[in-house]
Amino acid sequence: TETFDRPGFDSPTRQSFNGRKFKEDDEASHRGGLRMALLCLSNEYRLSENDWNLASSKANSIAVQIELLEDIIKADGKFDLTAELEKLKEEHSEAEGMLADVKVKVPDWDKLGESWLHHDYYRFIISFGKYNTLGTAAAHFD
């Protein structure tokens, strides 16, 4: 097998500090480990971002409910619940429209020369059942 020069290795003999030669198998193992590390970091980021979004959404929802109740209490019987319900339905419809317009940006790993990441990423996500929000989409990549 071919040997590779790497920083920190003795170039004339191409041996590591412990005397073991750095070969193709080591290079492949290194790439595999790097890929797994990238997948782990990407997944960790996605999960933490999802957790933050869920917590933020819940906090915002409760804040709006508190604000509504405070307005009802301040109105002292002069609060029009029907008008408020219609207003909330309209705002909800607008929010649903905004949500439909959001496009999730997914890198084209093939164009970036990292097609392995596209396939392996979804396999990696499937292995985490608790956070498997891409189950149906991920099944199409097998």
Q: Spell out the per-residue pLDDT of the chain, length 142, in tens.
A: 444 454 544 444 444 444 555 555 556 666 677 777 778 788 888 888 888 888 888 898 899 889 988 888 888 878 788 888 898 899 889 988 887 887 766 667 777 777 766 665 555 555 554 444 444 444 434 3
Cα separation, 73 vs 135, whole angstroms: 45
How far, in Å, CA of 119 to CA of 129, rounded?
Answer: 17
CA–CA separation, 4 and 11 (whole Å):
9
